[in-house]
Amino acid sequence: MKIKLHFLSIFCALICFTNVNIYSQTWEIIQPVNTCTKRSENTLAAVGDKLVLFGGRNVKATEVYDINTKTWTKVADAPLEIHHLQAVTYHNEVYVMGALTGQYPHETPIPNIYIFNIEKGEWRKGPEIPTDRLRGSAGCVVYKNKIYLVCGIQDGHWDGHVAWLDEYNPQNNTWRKLADAPHVRDHVSVAVIKDKLYLAGGRRSTAKINKVLELTEPAVDVYDFKQNSWKTLPENLNLPTQRAGNSAVALGNKLLIIGGESPAQVPAHSDVEAFDVDKQAWVKFPSLNQGRHGTGAVVVKGKVYTIAGSGNRGGGPDLDVIEVLK
């Protein structure tokens, strides 16, 4: 019996060691040739080998980072102050919807779609968003040539968080209301893996009752595009480290939740946790070198990039640090 237990212990140790090696990637800080504008509550999008950084409180500069040359180029300013959003890339252009503008705590949803063309280095004002679906601080993702906007808040950080899910078809400028998510939340970022939209992190920002950071949402909601239905994962699969203002990306069969802010600590979270959709389990990934919230993350050629954001919960210090997970 002792021999069997001994071999079992060795086997378990080997399994644990294997898991460590599987996820032995590390975050590296990139030293660019020149620097970008420090900012937070911004977003990040990828078009080919270039990263488009824009948005942030009191920041209009749009900057493009070339992954190959490690250089920044400032292009046209955004047409207005844009913040609290998750931008998406559609047909090599960057789309903005579900964003806020203005000052805390009554920031207002931006009523139009805005589109950035990286080849021309130009912004243009797009169609109006239906007035009864306006909100900001929402999650946004592309799936099969359509853009999906989920959750968000109608009145800045004050009140009015929603569980809405909308489908937008840029080809004919049509909107379709889909089923509400099981949980309302704002300060969210989403990703799609295997025909499913994953929604983890976020909170119900309610300055109206002096609870801006406290009401984090632990549950993970999943929308099945093929079944047109939502489900909530079992409680034991809640997001391990509750936070909002995090970034989310799909890396293979894993949903990565990166950074964020919470009342648990003053510094922004450096935690990176991954949900393996095949194994239905959370895995601890290497932490960021610099904790951050209020920014975006993108995947380019199997590498995860994140730039800028806020170093502490709430506002500031604004960052310009680039990190890549290799």
| pLDDT attached to residue 169 | 99
| pLDDT attached to residue 170 | 99
Side chain identity at residue 219, one-letter code: A
Tens digit of each residue's pLDDT (9 = 90 or more) over 275-310: 999 999 999 999 999 999 999 999 999 999 999 999
What's the pLDDT band for 15 if we cut at 50, 70, 90?
very low
Closest by CA position to 50, among listed 249, 298, 236, 222: 298
Closest by CA position to 160, among listed 140, 184, 143: 184
Tens digit of each residue's pLDDT (9 = 90 or more) over 123-174: 999 999 999 999 999 999 999 999 999 999 999 999 999 999 999 999 999 9
- Does pLDDT of 17 surpass 60? no
Q: What pTM, to 2 d.p., does this model score? A: 0.93
Identify the three-state secondary structure at position 33.
coil
Q: Compute the distance between CA of residue 307 and CA of residue 311 in angstroms, rounded to an integer.
A: 11
Q: Compute the distance between CA of residue 62 and CA of residue 71 in angstroms, rounded to an integer.
A: 14
Do residues 220 and 198 make contact, with C-beta atoms less than 8 angstroms apart? yes
- Residue 242 neighbours by CB under 8 Å, 6+ apart: 201, 216, 217, 218, 262, 264
Q: Compute the distance between CA of residue 209 and CA of residue 157 in angstroms, rounded to an integer.
A: 11
What's the pLDDT band for 325 if we cut at 50, 70, 90?
very high
Identify the three-state secondary structure at position 99.
coil
272 secondary structure, DSSP code: E
- Does pLDDT of 27 surpass 60? yes
Domains and their CATH numbers in the chain? 26-325 (2.120.10.80)
- Residue 289 neighbours by CB under 8 Å, 6+ apart: 27, 28, 29, 270, 321, 323
- Does pLDDT of 7 surpass 90? no
Task: State mean pLDDT over 205-228.
Answer: 98
Closest by CA position to 293, among listed 250, 253, 252, 248: 248
